[in-house]
């Protein structure tokens, strides 16, 4: 239906304004409304979904008063309205305004429905076009897609997705996602920086700052890695080991002092141990104790905001907003720690932590070395906390759970510890002592394989990514390399669901002959920079715990269920009871 209105129709309408003709309709017949003005200028043209061809307004003859009155009589006769009433109506704006409101309301409703329907159809068409032949739902739930599944993800749900194909597709809030489950495609994503870059989650750059080195690519990222690699030399690791050993003993003493006869959830205590150990390794005494407690307390807000699916806007009260406030508080202390470190190193003091080693490195050697600002150094430490805190907390919780559930493995760990320590459990660990502990290293490696803290790492395609011969991932899509399937490949790890440290002690085992499958620390240019540091920390914590404490694990129906946040944890929080060990 076509409706013509003057641009100035908002003012009261009278017969002198022009020709106003209404043909009333009964039943299901169409009501046609035409408004024509003298002179005809600047008409507003509205098109409704139902079209009814009418003559152009310019084709109407110039009206006379006689013709106007005749049309009014025709209208009142056909509509059954008394002439006096009709004349009264046409001498005011009531009829025109009423008809305009009715037509306008129907217009907006019909137009809105048409637009909404078109967008929904377009959404499905775009999804099908991008998905092509990949496994996955043929149609996506309008607008939200797989959002409901993503809010409460389960490992079983991801396993089902991985089993559907080497590549599969889903959509969440119109974000097209390709999930890679095979080792080949997972490694290809990790090693294709020209096609894809880490995006972690939608809120990551807001929380960790977009200029953080973890989001950089190319030469700038390579320059950072080259500098940071020097902070994980054997000499530097020896400095860090002293902090790890002393912090572990401090927390074990507190656990034993506060132990009760009841099993207690261990997730928070493990996180606190890891956070203090990390802060002392990274910042030493440049971080005051109260700052360490505040950062540890607030860091959980950052963890919650970096779940795979989250409301991405930083609105007060949201997880992202809370995480940004926690980051701001942490950055104040970390930036100040970098400043204090530069003062200490300039005064000739020996390095006692990672930022000291970094400052010392900047002060020596080539004068062309980049001078990193306090803010840049603080951002790196923030990224290290993000990379280590929850991943190592997850690792340690599962290590305690595995050793409690496999007492024969714990017994072998203890035997090795007593032998290397010469029976002196109070003696601090050294790198040389760790070199003589192959079993605990194999045990840690196996626990990480069985329950990898990170099961997948989201990337974003920078341009069309020809990942296979018959499929190209569209630019701007999320593409997720999955670690878990490679670590549970039965061809590489026979009996993959069992905890078998011995598989790593035989150089000829399929596990050792297929290092490409061990993707716990990723692969490619963004592979974890602190692999040796992480393995050393986990071996130190568990080796010292094994000789100082006994612990019992309360198995619940959710002990073997997985809670998936930024990393994975036992769904029940892992209930443990600690008692002193008599040596």
Using CA atoms, how far residue 294 sits from 68, 287, 327, 328, in Å, is 82, 11, 11, 12
Alpha helices of 132-203 — where are they, by DSSP H? 147-151, 155-163, 183-190
Q: For residues 272 and 530, what is the distance between their CA atoms, to the nearest angstrom?
A: 20
- Cα 545 to Cα 347: distance, rounded to the nearest angstrom: 38
Q: Do residues 423 and 161 touch, judged by C-beta distance below 8 A? A: no
Between CA 447 and CA 402 the distance in angstroms is 7
Neighbours of 39 (CB within 10 A): 6
Distance of CA 108 to the CA centre of its chain: 38
CB atoms within 10 A of CB 77: 12
Alpha carbons 542 and 546: distance in angstroms, whole number: 6
Cross-strand partners of 5: 44
Range list of β-strands (E), 155-246: 167-172, 175-180, 196-198
Q: Is 528 annotated as a binding residue?
A: yes
Question: Checking DSSP bridges between strand 175-180 and strand 478-481, what pairing results, if any?
Answer: parallel
The distance from CA 53 to its chain's CA centroid, rounded to whole angstroms, is 53
Q: Which residues contact 388 (CB under 8 A, 6 or more apart)?
A: 274, 278, 530, 534
Please state, as a whole number, how many other Cβ atoms lie within 10 Å of the Cβ of residue 435.
10
C-alpha span between 195 and 460 (Å, rounded): 8
Q: In what order do the strands lie in the sheet with 478-481?
A: 167-172, 175-180, 478-481, 459-461, 196-198
Annotated binding site: 528
Annotated binding site for heme: 528
């Amino acid at each position: 239906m076509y409706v013509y209105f003057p641009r100035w129709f908002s003012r009261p309408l009278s017969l002198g304004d022009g020709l106003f003709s209404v043909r009333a309709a009964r039943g299901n017949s169409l009501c046609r409304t035409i408004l024509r003005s003298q002179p005809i200028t600047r008409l507003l043209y509205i098109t409704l979904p139902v079209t009814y061809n009418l003559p152009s307004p310019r084709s109407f003859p110039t009206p006379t008063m006689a013709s106007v009155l005749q049309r009014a009589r025709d209208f009142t006769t056909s509509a059954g309205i008394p002439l006096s009433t009709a004349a009264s109506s046409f001498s005011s704006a009531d009829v025109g305004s009423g008809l305009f409101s009715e037509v306008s309301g129907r217009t907006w409703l019909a137009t809105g429905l048409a637009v909404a329907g078109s967008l929904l159809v377009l959404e499905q068409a775009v999804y099908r076009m991008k998905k092509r032949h990949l496994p996955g739902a043929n149609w996506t739930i309008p607008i939200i897609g797989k959002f409901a599944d993503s809010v409460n993800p389960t490992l079983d749900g991801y396993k089902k997705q991985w089993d559907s194909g080497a590549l599969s597709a889903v959509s969440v809030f119109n974000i097209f996602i390709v999930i890679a489950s095979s080792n080949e495609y997972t490694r290809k994503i990790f090693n294709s920086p020209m096609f894809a870059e880490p995006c972690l989650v939608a809120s990551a750059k807001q929380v960790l700052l977009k200029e953080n080195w973890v989001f950089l690519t190319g030469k700038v990222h390579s320059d950072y890695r080259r500098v940071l690699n020097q902070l994980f030399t054997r000499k530097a690791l020896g400095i860090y080991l002293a902090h790890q050993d002393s912090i572990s003993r401090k927390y074990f003493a507190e656990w034993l002092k506060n132990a009760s006869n009841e099993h207690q959830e261990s997730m928070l205590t493990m996180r606190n141990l890891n956070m203090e150990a990390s802060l002392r390794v990274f910042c030493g005494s440049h971080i005051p104790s109260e700052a360490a407690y505040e950062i540890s307390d607030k860091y959980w807000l950052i963890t919650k905001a970096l779940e795979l699916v989250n409301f991405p806007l930083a609105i007060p009260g949201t997880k992202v907003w809370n995480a940004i406030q926690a980051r701001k508080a942490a950055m104040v202390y970390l930036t100040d720690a970098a400043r204090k470190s530069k003062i200490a190193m300039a005064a000739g003091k020996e390095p006692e932590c990672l930022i000291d080693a970094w400052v010392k490195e900047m002060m020596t050697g080539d004068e062309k070395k980049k001078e990193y600002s306090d803010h840049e150094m603080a951002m790196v430490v923030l990224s290290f906390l993000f990379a280590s805190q929850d991943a190592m907390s997850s690792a340690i919780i599962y290590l305690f759970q595995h050793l409690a559930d496999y007492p024969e493995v714990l017994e072998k760990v203890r035997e090795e510890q007593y032998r290397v320590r010469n029976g002196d459990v109070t003696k601090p660990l050294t790198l040389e002592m760790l070199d003589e502990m192959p079993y605990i290293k194999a045990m840690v490696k196996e626990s990480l394989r069985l329950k990898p803290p990170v099961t997948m790492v989201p990337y974003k395609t920078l341009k069309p990514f020809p990942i296979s011969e018959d499929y190209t991932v569209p630019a701007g899509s999320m593409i997720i390399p999955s670690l878990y399937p490679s670590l549970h490949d039965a061809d590489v790890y026979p009996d993959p669901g069992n905890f078998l440290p011995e598989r790593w002690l035989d150089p000829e085992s399929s596990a050792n002959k297929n290092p490409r499958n061990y993707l716990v620390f990723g692969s490619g240019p963004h592979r974890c920079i602190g692999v040796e540091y992480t393995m050393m920390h986990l071996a130190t914590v568990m080796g010292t715990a094994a000789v100082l404490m006994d612990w019992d694990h309360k198995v619940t129906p959710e002990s073997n269920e997985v809670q998936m946040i930024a990393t994975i944890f036992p769904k029940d929080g892992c209930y443990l009871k600690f008692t002193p060990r008599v040596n």
